Amino acid sequence: MIVNNGSPQYHYMSLDGQHSLFDQYGCRAVLVWLSSRMFRSGHKLILQVIACMAAVLLLTHSLPQRASDVALGRGYSDWIGWARGKASEAVGDASEAAGLRVVVFGASDIATLPDTKKGDMAWPEVMCEELECTTYISLVPKPPTRSLSSNSLYAAVVDELVQASPKDKAASPGRDYSFYPDHFPVPWHVPDFGMQVSEFLSRPKPSKSPKETIWVFNFGHWDVWNLAGLPLKKSQVVVDAMVKDVIVNIEKLFKASSNETSIAYSNFRARDDSSRPDYLPKLRQPAVTVGDGAKAIPDQQVGEPFRIIVPMIFDATLSPGWKTERPDLPPAHSKAEQMRNAATLTERWNNKLQNAIEEWVRTSDRESARQAEEEEEEAAASQPTTTAQSGADSATSAAAAPSSTVPLVRDAIIYDLQEYVTEMIAERQLHDHGYVDQNGVGGRPEDKMFREVASPCINAGSDKPKTINTSLAVPKDDEDANRPTSRRRSMRVARDAAKNPDEGVSQSSAVCKDPTEHLFYNSLSLSSRAIDDIGKETAELVVANMTLRGFWANSS
């Protein structure tokens, strides 16, 4: 060892006395410099490194969650616990940039991956990222919990049938439902729609209100799953009541959005026309007919949309999990009957919900007409009797008039999740047989289709227990040969596809080589590629403003 200028240096030579490659490439000089810096100011260097790391973490923490994930990767939120977490955890402040906010209510259904730790996102998160939103709030319980739209409505019908079950089960096995709570219990520990709304509205208002809010409501999948084993007439009544309850909770959020002290409030007035996105055109209240003439809302009042996104639910009987995950019920309650019930209830839910949403959207026009009529009556009743009184009343009225508020206009985007899944299945089935229908289904390029649409990427095997608590895991079922009589062609193809075994996965609990080639990730969840497609398609609908009002305007 040689001491040079008070610093130790190490002189390395090869065995034959020649300078080694370590010296020839200057590595020794670098090592000498580093060792010198460490001996002289090692504590300062350590402090500088710590300061740099803290600065980077604080910077990414201050950015919106979307920007943080871009900077450090999509899994950043999982390993930095105090950072702005993944969207489902970032449910507090909405103050970043006061831009677009996405708020999601619902259940973890077929378009939700069971394991979010891998960094995969739910479709509303993908939509949020595509729209470059600044805040994402999700009230959806994490999988494998199964949220219903209304726990009380489901509990009421189950309790009624259990109470009505005959004591002599052998005499009337078809009327016996005493077993039902064991197979499909009421998930009281999982918040339903009403509980999610109450929990959200109980939160304090953020320091900066967002300029826009898009509301996502995704219920119905597990409601139909649980109701499919009950008598159809009873289940249909419950579906109708659940749809009405969904509208009640949506209206509760709509009214709260007009309250400036509520977390649901969006500060539309903070956005000027130059910064307004193209997919949010300025909406003026339409002229509404009152009596014999037309009354229009004053031009200075700009109607802002209270826009919601409601997906139509997917028929669970077309998923691989319908045969492998439903529990075995007593023989009197056949699987064929459950399949018919599920298909009928799915169609009823989608039709009832779409009609209810359309009626809810039209409520804005009726309220505008009623408000204009009331204002006209008030103006007529307060006509002054003299000119002097007229001037005084006008001054008093102007001073007392509140500042013009931004009226909210109900609007909705309805996404057909059912159509997407069945079309993907039909594309592969027709393509494999060399057919293309008149709508072009079956003619997509190979890279735009899924190689496997019948079996999931993860094969759960056949050794599962037959009875599983549905509030924590997923139940089981076997084979079924009957089909609904009135189904679309693509859904019939999907039914045939669901019967085909998976040739690529042969071992129990085996995982496929490429999950992106499979439409289903597991028996009850779509793959991340399919979920990304759904999120991007929904974002395109938002950008194109493909709302009900937009459709009605183009049709007229």
Q: Are strands 212-218 and 100-106 parallel, antiparallel or unpaired?
A: parallel
- H or E segment to which residue 525 belongs: strand 525-526
With CA atoms as reference, report the closest residue to 243 among 326, 349, 132, 142.
349
* Residue 302 CB partners (closer than 8 Å, separation 6+): 268, 282, 283, 284, 406
Give CA–CA dist 129/139, Å, rounded.
18
Evaluated on CA atoms 43, 48, 53, 54, the torsion sign reads positive
User: 335-362 pLDDT, tens per residue?
Assistant: 889 999 999 999 999 999 999 999 999 9
Percent of the chain with pLDDT over 70: 60
User: 441-455 pLDDT, tens per residue?
Assistant: 888 888 888 999 988
With CA atoms as reference, report the closest residue to 232 among 106, 356, 354, 347.
347
With CA atoms as reference, report the closest residue to 238 among 320, 368, 148.
148
Instruction: Kindly give the confidence (pLDDT) of every residue in the chain, 556 residues in length, as a single tens digit, with 9 standing for 90 and above.
Output: 444 444 444 444 444 445 555 555 566 776 666 666 666 665 666 777 777 777 766 665 544 444 344 344 444 444 443 333 333 344 344 444 468 999 999 998 888 887 655 667 899 999 999 999 999 999 999 888 899 999 999 999 999 999 998 887 777 788 889 999 999 999 999 999 999 999 999 999 988 889 889 999 999 999 999 999 999 999 999 999 999 999 999 999 999 998 999 999 998 766 555 555 554 544 444 444 444 454 444 444 456 789 999 999 999 999 999 988 999 888 888 888 999 999 999 999 999 999 999 999 998 766 655 655 665 666 566 555 444 444 444 433 433 333 345 578 899 999 999 999 999 999 988 988 888 888 888 888 888 889 999 889 987 544 343 333 333 333 334 433 333 333 333 344 444 444 444 433 334 457 888 899 999 999 999 999 999 999 999 999 999 989 999 888 887 6
Query: Which alpha helices (H) appear in 73-122, and where do they start and end?
Result: 76-79
Token readout for 208 is: 């900066």
% helix, strand, coil for the chain, step of 5: 45, 10, 45
* β strands within 68-166, DSSP E: 100-106, 135-138
Give CA–CA dist 487/352, Å, rounded.
18
